Amino acid sequence: MSETSERLRTPGRGLDVRGYSVLRTARGQDALISAASAFGKLTGARSFGVTHLRAAGSDAWLGRHTETLTDPPVPIRYFALGCLVPAARGGETLLFDGRKAARLLAGSLHGAREVRIRYRSQYRPEVADHSLIVEDEQHGPVLRFRSATDNNEMIAKPAGISDAEVYAVVEDAESRSVALIHSWRAGELLLVDNHAMLHSRAPFAGLRHMLRFRYDDPLHPAVIIAR
C-alpha cells in the first residue's frame, strides 16, 4: 500500500460520517493528482476528470450548489478540490450539510418535498429536474439544490408561496447548516461527498489556482484509475 493511500484511509472513513475530509499533501500538481487518484481507488471510482480553475480575483460569491446538478440522472457522489495557489485574500470554500438543511426545511417549509426545480447548464446543453429534498440510500433525506439563477426553473411548489419565498427559506436553512469554512493553503486537498454536502466559494483578491476532480463523471471520464 502506498504512503498516500495509507494517509487517506482515516480521512476516507471520516468522509462517510462528516461528508468531507481535508488532506495535506506536498505542493504541486503531481502530488495533488496522485492523492486524488489514491482517494478514487479507495472509494472504488473507475475514473476521474481534472479541471484547472484559475482566476485573478472575483467580487462575486459562487452560489451554493450541488456539484454536477445539471447532469442527469443523479449528481456524482464524490468530488475534490486541490489548491495550487491560494488567493491573496478570501477565496474560502464553504460546505453546507445537506442532511441538516433537509431536516430544517421539513419544519420551516410546508410542502418542501413537493418542490421540484429544473436546472440548466450555462455552458452545455444538459438539463435535469430534481426534487428539493431527495431520499439518499446512505444519508436519508438530503437537500439537492442550486441558488437562484436565470438557468433555474421552479416547476413544482406548494400553493400560495412564490419562487422567491422558496429560495429565501432554502437559503436560510443552508446558512444554518454550515459545516466548514476552509481557508486554503497550497498542497491541500478537500474531499467532498456530493450527496451530503453543498458548497460555495467566497469572493477573493489575487490569483487563485485550484484543481477540481470529479469522480465517475459520465460526461467527463478523463482519467481511468488503474487497479
Angle ∠(47,52,58) on CA atoms, nearest 5: 140
Sign of the torsion angle spanned by Cα atoms 29, 31, 37, 42: negative
Q: Is 173 helix (H, G, I), strand (E, B) or coil?
A: helix
Do 128 and 16 belong to one domain? no
Do 85 and 106 belong to one domain? no
* Local confidence band at 16 (pLDDT 50, 70, 90 cut-offs): confident
* Local confidence band at 73 (pLDDT 50, 70, 90 cut-offs): confident
Rounded mean pLDDT of the chain?
91
Do 186 and 88 belong to one domain? yes
Do 86 and 185 belong to one domain? yes
The domain in which residue 106 lies consists of 99-175
Do 81 and 185 belong to one domain? yes
* Nine-digit cell string for 189: 486537498
Query: Which stretch of 3-12, 23-32, 182-191 has the lowest confidence by average pLDDT?
Result: 3-12
For cell 450555462, what's the residue? 122
Q: What is the CA radius of gyration of the chain?
A: 18
Residue 37 identity (one-letter amino acid)? S
* pLDDT, tens digit, 9 for 90 and up, residues 89-119: 999 999 999 999 999 999 999 999 999 999 9
Share of the chain above pLDDT 90, in %: 83
pLDDT at position 9 over 60: no
Number of domains in the chain: 2
Do 69 and 48 belong to one domain? yes
Residues 6+ apart with CB under 8 A from 218: 71
Distance CA(153)–CA(188), nearest Å, equals: 36
* Local confidence band at 10 (pLDDT 50, 70, 90 cut-offs): low
Residues 6+ apart with CB under 8 A from 151: 119, 120, 121, 122
Share of the chain above pLDDT 70, in %: 91
Do 106 and 131 belong to one domain? yes
* pLDDT, tens digit, 9 for 90 and up, residues 156-183: 999 999 999 999 999 999 999 999 999 9
Do 93 and 27 belong to one domain? yes
Q: Is 138 helix (H, G, I), strand (E, B) or coil?
A: coil
- CATH number of the domain to which 59 belongs: 2.60.120.620
In the DSSP assignment, the letter for residue 109 is S
Do 108 and 86 belong to one domain? no
Do 161 and 217 belong to one domain? no
Q: Which residue, 195, 168, 192, 162, is CA-closest to 180?
A: 192
Residues 6+ apart with CB under 8 A from 165: none
